[in-house]
Chain A
Amino acid sequence: MSASPVAKLSARDAGQRLRGRYRSERRFRMYGICSIAVALVFLAVLLGSIISHGYSAFVQTKMALPIDFAADIIDPEGHRDHAALSSADYRALIAAALVRKFPDIEDDRTAKRDLSRAISQGAENELRKIVLDDPSVIGSTREVWLTAAAPADMLEKGNVPHNSDSGFSDATLAKLDQMKADGKIKLAFNSNLFTSGDSRQPELAGLLGAVVGSVYSLLITIALSFPLGVAAAVYLEEFAKKNRFTDLIEVNINNLAAVPSIVFGLLALEIFLNVLGLPRSAPLVGGLALTLVSLPTIIISARVALKAVPPWIREAAQGLGASRQQMVMHHVLPLAMPGILTGTIIAMARAIGESAPLLMIGMVAFVVDTPATPMDPATALPVQVYLWAASPERAFVERTSAAILVLLACLAVMNATAIYLRKKFERRW
């Protein structure tokens, strides 16, 4: 066998080219791995930053003060009647306790004011509750753990530097340090976050109102979008003949699934508020708007689930004499139900995080009270995140992150349920 020089050269060339091609192959693979890594790093940074900002909001600084429940301040007339006890000046008790603990501030009004800023305005309510629950404390002195105000809270959690940038004077800082050294400052679980409504004071602001608003909206959304969505899917998949009308419906559903949610908000504002005159800021209207947003998703996923039921189920049912509706209601729908439920839960998880339509219908008001009915003004969980994020105070950053964590936890639970349902009831035909 005689190889010509030309062929030898080209073989070497070919070897080089092959190596080049393999290099480019490896490079291409690397691109893929890198882009997945970039996406996952973003996810990690996102979650990491939210968690690192937010975990500290689940605890709250408390300060112990020896409160003298002086009868002459709380109940000078001695009748112990409810109205007098409710309207007493509990702030004065706190101020007196501070002076007793740190006698040097007695004549220094600035120092007194500075120190009393460390105690939350909500502390008065805590004292009031103690007295109203048990009027016999009047006249006695006891140590009470009071909620610290946001600046002191931030200082304790290390979110602000330990100097005059924290908002306290050096003298006050020294006093707070002394209290801490005495064990009179502690971090306790922040139950306030889950039991109270919104507030201008970060340490008093809670999520209850927003959660209840979200729950009302979601209940209305489920109650409307599930039956309507399933009915529409059943009609399109099982009964409708292929004609212009059903084509039109399908095109509409597919388009609505991709219409920006804020447009649904504009629709809700115009139709539900301006034309029908329903109340602004109400979870009822929020639920209606979210129904419109989530209907297309539910219809599409329900159709997929119905399509997955094999035709021989239908043939067998009809062969035994079932009518078309009996076949669908008794056999096809129950078999498709796990898939439909999975799709519905995922659509609801999307709806619970949706905020743009809710902004349009005014669910962004500052609402302190927990809504009692779906007609009362309310906010929703994601809108509360938006509202707190817009607050300038440093302490609200932590609250916002905590609200996001609560929201993400809800979503995780819903999605986990959907995955569980899918895994448990998935059938291969």
Chain B
Amino acid sequence: MQFLTLVCGLLLLSTLVFRLGRGRAVQLSGGSGRVLHSLPSYYGYFVALWCGLPALILVCAWLIFEPFILKSLVLSSLPAEAAQMTPVRLSLLMNEVRQMAASGDYRFASDQLARDAAEHYHGLKSISFAAMAVSAVCLAMLGAWFGMQRVSAKLRGRNAVEGIVTLFLIASSTIAIFTTIGIVLSLLFESLRFFSKIPIGDFLFGLNWSPQMAMRTDQVGSSGAFGAVPLFTGTLLISVIAMVVAVPIGLLSAIYMAEYAHPKFRSVAKPLLEVLAGIPTVVYGFFAVMTVAPALRDFGAQLGFTISAESALSTGIVMGVMIIPFISSLSDDVITAVPDSLRHGSYGLGATHSETIKQVVLPAALPGIVGGVLLAVSRAIGETMIVVMAAGLSAHLTANPLASVTTVTVQIVTLLVGDQEFDSPKTLSAFALGLVLFCVTLALNVVALNVVRKYREKYD
């Protein structure tokens, strides 16, 4: 809250300074705009930027470095006994201290040491905030003064302001690159730590997955098994079922919408199909658990099959339903992009509508459709909530769609929800799974996007 007030205060100050700068420029022009290089408001923006930007940069830098400095200050203030603590114990202590200082509630301190440290931390933090606020406001004033000094008829206000704006635009567009780098680095870093404990071959080709680690080393099964093949096959099984449901239904609906449907029918049915795409996946997960799985189980019982309550079949069907609109809207786009001249040629040779579609339109649209299906596969593989709610937890190496299987995303969620220790292979394995997931979906996306783009160029 205090922080928000500070930022708002700085923004308010900048607005004020904007008016000052603009007023100064108007004054300089003496009523005629000709003496000024830029419009008066640009001088206002110029001064406001000088006022606001350095102060905001200072605040950001302060916030980034504050935790590190506070931590070392608190650690150095701890009594001598703390110096003998192991690094793990120290980091636990710091966590507790930080939490207590943030909530201002010291009642549940584990010991006097932690309590004192938390109070010390809290005190330092309020000093630090006050110092930050004062220096930010001072810097803002200083910047405003400096900016005002530079306002003159010759100053190229517009160029200066536009330069800053361009910088902001470029910086915003590079966020995508930094996000990708961030994903790769963070996954790779934790995965390498994991692979230093579990050999990468065991992870990628092992057939046994049971990441539960015993608490003590002398217990039976103290080291978990991290063979991810059952997860890969489980993911594949569910994705294949989803595709078996989604591809025919999605493709045929797209063909009907694009080729046969009356515009009125299309204008009703298409948005309705898109509703399926807009429903959150957690809702599909609940639907799978509450409705589809029991229905399938009863149906199977009548036929004499035992269908698991967490069967790959029910999960896959529901995921397929989720993907239908994805496939149908992508295919619809590609089918309508096929030039009419091809259709007319086919009609001219006496082909019926469906023959034209099957023998001319679909082959022409095939690359785009394949691209769309690949994108859908990548979405099915990465889908989380449906499988977390509806698929099983234990890993079985099976291709039976009636049995329960688990997937990569389910395991990532189960491994990372709840208490975590960041040095156990159990937690780290989630990042290794994440890395595999990222690589596979990335490969699928790159191929699919290239196919789609090439295809688009063909008819443009």
**B127 beta carbon closer than 8 Å to chain A:** no
**B1 beta carbon closer than 8 Å to chain A:** yes
Residue of B nearest to A230 (CB): B172
Report the bound CA distance from A32 to B285 in whole Å: 27
**B363 beta carbon closer than 8 Å to chain A:** no
Residue of B nearest to A292 (CB): B179
Scan residues 42-83 of chain A and give those whose CB is less than 8 A from a CB of chain B: 42-43, 45-46, 49-50, 53
A407 to chain B: closest CB distance in Å? 6
- Taking a contact as CB atoms under 8 Å apart, the answer to whether B291 and A45 are in contact is yes
Scan residues 266-295 of chain A and give those whose CB is less than 8 A from a CB of chain B: 266-267, 269-271, 274, 276-277, 279, 292, 295
Contact with B along A25-50 (1 / 0, CB 8 A): 10011011111101110110110011
A25-B438 CB under 8 A given contacts A232-B175, A353-B282: no
- Taking a contact as CB atoms under 8 Å apart, the answer to whether B183 and A259 are in contact is yes
Residue of A nearest to B328 (CB): A39
Report the bound CA distance from A299 to B172 in whole Å: 10
Report the bound CA distance from A260 to B286 in whole Å: 20
A356-B384 CB under 8 A given contacts A39-B324, A236-B173, A325-B162: yes
Q: Which residues of A have CB within 8 Å of B189?
A: 270
Q: Which residues of A have CB within 8 Å of B169?
A: 231-232, 234-235, 239
Q: Which residues of B have CB within 8 Å of A397?
A: 290
- Taking a contact as CB atoms under 8 Å apart, the answer to whether B170 and A235 are in contact is yes
A428 to chain B: closest CB distance in Å? 17
- Taking a contact as CB atoms under 8 Å apart, the answer to whether A385 and B249 are in contact is no
Contact residue among A40, A277, A386 (Cβ-Cβ distance under 8 Å from B385): A386
Report the bound CA distance from A390 to B390 in whole Å: 11
Q: Which residues of A have CB within 8 Å of B1?
A: 373
Contact residue among A34, A36, A386 (Cβ-Cβ distance under 8 Å from B273): A36
**B382 beta carbon closer than 8 Å to chain A:** yes
Q: Which residues of A have CB within 8 Å of B281?
A: 353, 355-356
- Taking a contact as CB atoms under 8 Å apart, the answer to whether A29 and B272 are in contact is no
Q: Which residues of A have CB within 8 Å of B75?
A: none
**B422 beta carbon closer than 8 Å to chain A:** yes
- Taking a contact as CB atoms under 8 Å apart, the answer to whether A404 and B286 are in contact is yes
Q: Which residues of A have CB within 8 Å of B430?
A: 266
- Taking a contact as CB atoms under 8 Å apart, the answer to whether A266 and B412 are in contact is yes
Which of B82-90, B202-210, B253-261 lies at the interface? Answer: B253-261
Report the bound CA distance from A252 to B248 in whole Å: 31
- Taking a contact as CB atoms under 8 Å apart, the answer to whether A50 and B287 are in contact is yes
Q: Which residues of B have CB within 8 Å of A276?
A: 64, 67
Report the bound CA distance from A39 to B190 in whole Å: 42
- Taking a contact as CB atoms under 8 Å apart, the answer to whether A359 and B255 are in contact is no
Report the bound CA distance from A31 to B430 in whole Å: 43
Q: Which residues of A have CB within 8 Å of B187?
A: 263, 266-267, 270
Report the bound CA distance from A407 to B385 in whole Å: 15
**A240 beta carbon closer than 8 Å to chain B:** yes
Residue of B nearest to A372 (CB): B1
Scan residues 221-276 of chain A and give those whose CB is less than 8 A from a CB of chain B: 227-229, 231-232, 234-236, 239-240, 246, 248-249, 252-256, 258-264, 266-267, 269-271, 274, 276
**B375 beta carbon closer than 8 Å to chain A:** yes
- Taking a contact as CB atoms under 8 Å apart, the answer to whether A49 and B170 are in contact is no
Report the bound CA distance from A335 to B265 in whole Å: 32
Contact residue among B282, B416, B422, B434 (Cβ-Cβ distance under 8 Å from A355): B282
- Taking a contact as CB atoms under 8 Å apart, the answer to whether B437 and A29 are in contact is no
- Taking a contact as CB atoms under 8 Å apart, the answer to whether A249 and B291 are in contact is no
Contact with B along A373-415 (1 / 0, CB 8 A): 1010000001101100110000001001100100110010001
Q: Which residues of B have CB within 8 Å of A411?
A: 278-280
- Taking a contact as CB atoms under 8 Å apart, the answer to whether B441 and A259 are in contact is yes
A232-B102 CB under 8 A given contacts A46-B287, A355-B281: no
**B212 beta carbon closer than 8 Å to chain A:** no
**A197 beta carbon closer than 8 Å to chain B:** no
Report the bound CA distance from A413 to B328 in whole Å: 24
- Taking a contact as CB atoms under 8 Å apart, the answer to whether B438 and A263 are in contact is yes
**A360 beta carbon closer than 8 Å to chain B:** yes
- Taking a contact as CB atoms under 8 Å apart, the answer to whether A359 and B417 are in contact is yes
Q: Which residues of B have CB within 8 Å of A142?
A: none
A326 to chain B: closest CB distance in Å? 8
Q: Which residues of B have CB within 8 Å of A236?
A: 173
Contact residue among B257, B272, B437 (Cβ-Cβ distance under 8 Å from A262): B437
- Taking a contact as CB atoms under 8 Å apart, the answer to whether B175 and A228 are in contact is yes
- Taking a contact as CB atoms under 8 Å apart, the answer to whether A360 and B172 are in contact is no
Q: Which residues of A have CB within 8 Å of B375?
A: 258
**A21 beta carbon closer than 8 Å to chain B:** yes
- Taking a contact as CB atoms under 8 Å apart, the answer to whether A360 and B416 are in contact is yes
Residue of B nearest to A27 (CB): B354
- Taking a contact as CB atoms under 8 Å apart, the answer to whether B249 and A235 are in contact is no
**A340 beta carbon closer than 8 Å to chain B:** no
- Taking a contact as CB atoms under 8 Å apart, the answer to whether A36 and B269 are in contact is yes
**B379 beta carbon closer than 8 Å to chain A:** yes
Q: Which residues of B have CB within 8 Å of A382?
A: 280, 282, 385
- Taking a contact as CB atoms under 8 Å apart, the answer to whether B285 and A389 are in contact is yes
Report the bound CA distance from A362 to B275 in whole Å: 29
- Taking a contact as CB atoms under 8 Å apart, the answer to whether A252 and B180 are in contact is yes
Report the bound CA distance from A385 to B289 in whole Å: 13
- Taking a contact as CB atoms under 8 Å apart, the answer to whether A270 and B173 are in contact is no
Q: Which residues of B have CB within 8 Å of A323?
A: 158, 162
In the complex, besides A277-B67, A295-B176, 11 extra interface pairs with C-beta distance below 8 angstroms are A32-B260, A35-B256, A50-B283, A249-B173, A255-B445, A259-B438, A261-B384, A263-B187, A267-B182, A279-B102, A407-B280
Please list the 9 inter-chain residue pairs (A to B) with the smallest Cβ-Cβ separation, ordered nearest first. Answer: A260-B382, A32-B256, A353-B280, A270-B186, A231-B172, A235-B169, A28-B354, A356-B384, A232-B173
Please list 11 pairs of residues, one from A and one from B, whose beta carbons are closer than 8 Å in the complex, sorted by A's number: A32-B253, A40-B269, A53-B290, A227-B172, A260-B378, A260-B381, A262-B382, A267-B186, A270-B190, A295-B176, A296-B176
